[in-house]
Amino acid sequence: MKRNTNLSKITRKLACLTVIATLGWPSAANALPKPSFEIAQAFNPPGRGAPPRTADAGTRGCSVSEGNTKPLTALVPVKDLALTLKSHPTLFWYVPQAEGKTLVFTLLDKNDETIIYEKEVPAPSESGIVSIELSTEETEGLKTNELYHWYLSIVCDPQDRTGDIIVDGWIERMEANADLKAQIQHSDPETLPKIYAESGIWHDALSAMAKLYNENLQDGAIASQWETLLRSVQLDAFAQTPILSPSEPK
């Protein structure tokens, strides 16, 4: 019986060696797990469903410079409502180089009846990612559990706004629970985007990640985190797009 057992062990070893000889040893890349940031930095949808329908960006008035194939685009999830915990959040868009000289951001209530906030800034001289933060001096900010409708316009002709290039979207402010508040309070800049992303708080995740990325442009790991976050909501086409410095309001 002992002899048969030893023979069985030898047979199994020979079978394993045959497989290795045929397929080769597993490569290091396949054997090791992916870096944690490639998993943890992905956005976890909040499960609130799709936002209300938005209009496609119009292109009647301004001509976009030759070579710009990407339209004016809001950096928000397409299939999920973009949330924030902040009363005065920062929003991001890709803005192509166009003839328009001005950007106008307008925030309204969910019924498009009351203007909550409006801001006018110079349009960028080059294509890139633009951010606008709600001013703490000019507005009380967003109320919790209320839906807001925003618009960003590239103004082609101030005398005839019918030719504006426009993109719109929705935002809602949520109240963080005690656990999330504690995590945010004890986090550092490197872990803050992960906390927001895993909690489904898109605007705050993107804002924290954009700041970290823009301050560490030579850090390959952070660049991968930035790309992973954008890819998780089908925005990876903008991962290599420069983040432009915020413009002063007019």
What per-residue confidence (pLDDT) applies to 6? 47
Give residue 98's pLDDT: 84
Stretches where the chain sits below pLDDT 70 are 1-40, 49-50, 53-68, 247-250
Tokens 């490569």, residue located: 27
What kind and span of H or E run contains 37? helix 36-40
In this prediction, residue 100 carries a pLDDT of 83
d(CA 167, CA 72): 7
Residue 71 structure tokens: 């339209």
Distances (CA, A) of 8 to 11, 12, 14, 23, 101: 5, 6, 10, 23, 80
- Specify the 3-state DSSP secondary structure of 237: helix
Q: Note the pLDDT of residue 234.
A: 95
Q: What is the pLDDT of residue 163?
A: 87
Neighbours of 86 (CB within 10 A): 16
Strand-pairing partners, residue 165, are: 154
DSSP state of 98: B
Helix segments in 35-166, DSSP class H:
36-40
Which domains does the chain carry?
Answer: 36-238 (2.60.40.10)
Predicted TM-score (pTM) of this structure:
0.80
State both tokens at 202. Answer: 């898109």
State phi, psi for 22 to the nearest 5 degrees: -80, -45
